[in-house]
């Protein structure tokens, strides 16, 4: 028996065993293997489809995110503009109110100054009048110390009346 050239019997039995193994594999093995390969291919295709769908969703989410960011920026700009407008309006209102208050205070001060001036003038006039009366009284007393001077002054006053 040579290793390079097998005998006819060995060849026959090897062919027969190969045929039986092939038929068993063809009947039960190959369908299971092809079914497993097919299932795996289906899972891979399904995974690819899901990955493509996920990628598409990510693209949509990215565009939605950009839209939301843009919307948020516009809203922020609007809110900042409203805040600036409110601030300007409040400042203008505060300035107007301050001017009105200042003019009221100034007018009250002018009125009070005028009243104080008038009061001071009245007091000065009263004081001048009382000083004048006091001076006149002293002058008359001095001049009318004598009875003859008093009688003469009374006569003149009666003549004038």
Reported as half-sphere exposure (CB side, CA atoms, 13 A), residue 14 has a value of: 6
Q: Region 79-85: what's the mean pLDDT? A: 95
What pLDDT does 2 receive? 64
What pLDDT does 84 receive? 94
- Residue 154: pLDDT above 90? no
Question: What tens digit of pLDDT does each residue of 30-52 get?
Answer: 899 999 999 999 999 999 999 99
CA–CA separation, 33 vs 70, rounded Å? 54
pTM for the predicted model, two decimal places: 0.41
Q: Region 113-122: what's the mean pLDDT? A: 92
Least-confidence region, from 2-11, 34-43, 56-65: 2-11
What pLDDT does 9 receive? 86
What pLDDT does 5 receive? 77
What pLDDT does 3 receive? 66
CA–CA separation, 116 vs 126, rounded Å? 15
Q: Region 78-92: what's the mean pLDDT? A: 95
What pLDDT does 61 receive? 92
> Could you tell me if 143 and 149 are in contact, meaning their C-beta atoms sit under 8 angstroms apart?
yes
- Residue 1: pLDDT above 80? no
What pLDDT does 156 receive? 79
> Could you tell me if 153 and 144 are in contact, meaning their C-beta atoms sit under 8 angstroms apart?
yes
CA–CA separation, 45 vs 37, rounded Å? 12
């Amino acid at each position: 028996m040579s290793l390079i050239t097998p005998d006819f019997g060995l060849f026959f039995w090897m062919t027969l065993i190969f045929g039986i193994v092939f038929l068993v594999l063809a009947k039960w093995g190959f369908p299971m293997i092809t079914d497993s390969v097919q299932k795996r291919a289906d899972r891979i295709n399904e995974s690819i489809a899901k990955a493509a769908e996920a990628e598409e969703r990510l693209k949509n989410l990215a565009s939605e995110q950009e839209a939301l960011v843009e919307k948020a920026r516009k809203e922020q700009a609007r809110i900042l503009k409203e805040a600036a407008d409110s601030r300007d309006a409040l400042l203008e209102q505060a300035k107007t109110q301050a001017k009105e208050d200042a003019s009221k205070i100034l007018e009250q001060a002018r009125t009070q100054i005028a009243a104080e001036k008038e009061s001071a003038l009245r007091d000065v006039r009263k004081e001048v009048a009382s000083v004048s009366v006091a001076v006149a009284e002293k002058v008359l007393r001095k001049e009318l110390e004598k009875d003859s001077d008093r009688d003469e002054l009374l006569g003149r006053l009666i003549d004038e009346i």
